[in-house]
Structure 1
Amino acid sequence: MTEHVLEYRWLLPATLQDAPEGRRSAVRRSTRDWIVDIAVFLLSAGLGLITADEVHGLVGATEPIRAIDQVVGALACVAVWLRRRWPVGLALVLTLVSTVSNMASVPALVALFTVVVHRPFRPMALVVGVNLLTLPVYLQLWPDPTMPYAMEALVSVLVLLVVVGWGMFVRARRQLVLSLRDRAERAEVEAAFQVTRARRLERERIAREMHDVLAHRLSLLSVHAGALEYRPDMPPRDVARAAEVIRSGAHQALQDLREVIGVLRLGSGDPEDGGGSATAGEAASDRPDRPQPTLATLADLVEESRLAGTEVEFDLRVGDPSGVPAGLGRNAYRIVQEGLTNARKHAAAAPVELTVAGGPGEGLTVEVVNPVTGGRSVPGSGTGLIGLTERAELMGGRLEYGPAPDGRFRLGAWLPWPE
């Protein structure tokens, strides 16, 4: 839309394009301004020459009056070129001059039109008032013998009203064009802001997902690697199984990392990467997504933690886990995943109690409880629980974590479950 408005910008007068109030006189004439000014000058001169032979007045002074009228009228036509620099002053001068010069009446109307178009109400009212006050004097000096005085006065007032009305219409139209241009520019800025915001939100979502997934996989790798380090005398079968878990976990972590890097590259907006017009969300939607975790896959997650050596007591109090909404199940899965990951990091040899309960209308409650200490601690970034809190709040739920009354660490969340 902005392009269409700016395409016709040259049609706007220079005084209405970019110049601030009080500095319009310094603006150079646009192409349209030159065309209009030349046309106005030729129109004023042409109409002045037509009316020059119809000058009426004192019979004894016809020739001198006609000569003076032509000289003054010619100067008034030339003065039209100054109407953009001093519109109000020129309009007042030409109004007074046109009282004694019939040929200057057309330039005076042009100056009045300029004031109506480019100046606010008060200067316009002043110029119109001066025109109305000088009108009786003009009619006395330049009467039309073919028309009654009242009729000539009425016609003159109607001419003034037509000029003022036309000028107000042109002013309103130009202001509408400027308003549309401003609105289009604002819409363009707003659209760019929305695109940037969508990219940021999508990257934050991807960062949360990757933190949950990679932290879980890397913690498993750390546990098995630690077992190999501290138990070199393990049976070959256990060593092979731990090595297989490490190999498989590293492969899956690299695959997750490649996917997120590819999504971020496609949605980065870098023309060299071909992502200039796509957000991260759009880029992600163009790629075949892997199956997302649900509440029904919690048992596999628990079993994976048990194989890593964590004792997990799992209590699932949901009638049909497969019937849980996809978004609710995915967020509950991520909360449990982060809770088990934190338990492995900070209490690797301690048992974990996991409870998931709820139903439609009452919401879904997730609780992970484990001792504060136990085993060797694995360093972490400290942002996992913050991300979980934001995840729960985005769903309209809540998340709490900290020491429980019995001294253990408790992670609890409630997520809304629509009926």
Structure 2
Amino acid sequence: MICLETQHFNINRMLLLIVGLWPYQRSFLIELQLILFFGILITFIVFQLTTFITSECTLGIINKVLSSSFFFICLLIEYNSFWINTDILKIALKQLQEVCNEIKNKNEIAIIKKYGSQAKCITIGLILLVICFQFIFILLYIWPYIRHIMILNNSQSHSPPHIITEYFIDQEKYSYLITVHRHAACLIGSLAMLATGTMLITYVQHICAMFSIACNNVIDSYRIKLAIDISHENNSKNDQKSYKDIIHAINIHRNAIKLLNILVSNFQGSYIFLIAAGTISASCNLFRFMSFISIEQLILSLLFLSILYVYSFISNYMAQQITDHHEYIFITVYTVRWYMAPIHIQKMVLFLLQRGIKSLHVTLGGIFVGSIQSFASLTSTSISYFTVLYSTMHD
């Protein structure tokens, strides 16, 4: 039997425990941790927006504030979406475990393990990427100190404000507290995006595994074709086995769609706001990247853009994977000689054929359809907004 929590979700469990979002083992201390982390993120966003109160609202200042504040709003939305959907994550993991408990065939177990291993590899790769991003962000703020010490053999009083904030206090006097707050918000937000994103990737990989078991493509699944080929032998025992196998395939297919609908329906509201905030942040950071006044600001904008585009690409790629795996079912069932099977088996196959006629897309709020094409459209939209900003600034 496959134990998902210890075999396939162990890294995700560790990441979610760090940020207090693991749906099990909730305690009073975990709730305090959630409130603390959420408070650090939201106050850092607020102290960026309060810059508009004390500073002249030029287009340059507005762009600098929005480019960073909307990036952290994205992190906040991601964190909050998992916090409010704790029960949904429990239900999804429970249903997925029930499906795995019903799988006894070694070939099907191998398919689940293969996709689980792929999810782990993606998770480890993203962990390394986030570590690199976090290292660059920290280096961006300590580099002026290092450079000043190396050149002048002394230290600066405070680091340059690459992210503009207004705390209504003496920022030079309390520079170390402000630095701690800034880096804590960045670390919490990065871990939250990493933990929640990789958790959803692992769910998607297991949904794809369920589709693969049901659809019989040449690499990963075999059940439908095997069942129909056996039925051609006109043996009553094999005929009964074929019937059971097709029922099993239909049940797995139905459970995969049910699990997908649970996740999409409960996360779609948060992700519509995430898409909007991400598009605004990407546009503002593109503008900041093109009109930089220092190498540090250029690197910061490039860092934010890289995170946003990598996250957007992976999200849309995972949605495309679901669509592609679902289409394999229709292609596979249609190409095998199902019409030569006994009538009662043909009737079962028609369930899959009818469902396969309609493409399965991950749609958020009935507006945004996840796919590689949608990623290109989002990228194009952010560039279009940037073009408008840039032309307005230089008119």
- If the TM-score is normalised by the length of the shorter chain, which range does it land in? under 0.3
Larger radius of gyration: 1
Which has the higher relative contact order, 1 or 2, with Cα contacts under 8 A spaced 6 or more apart? Answer: 2
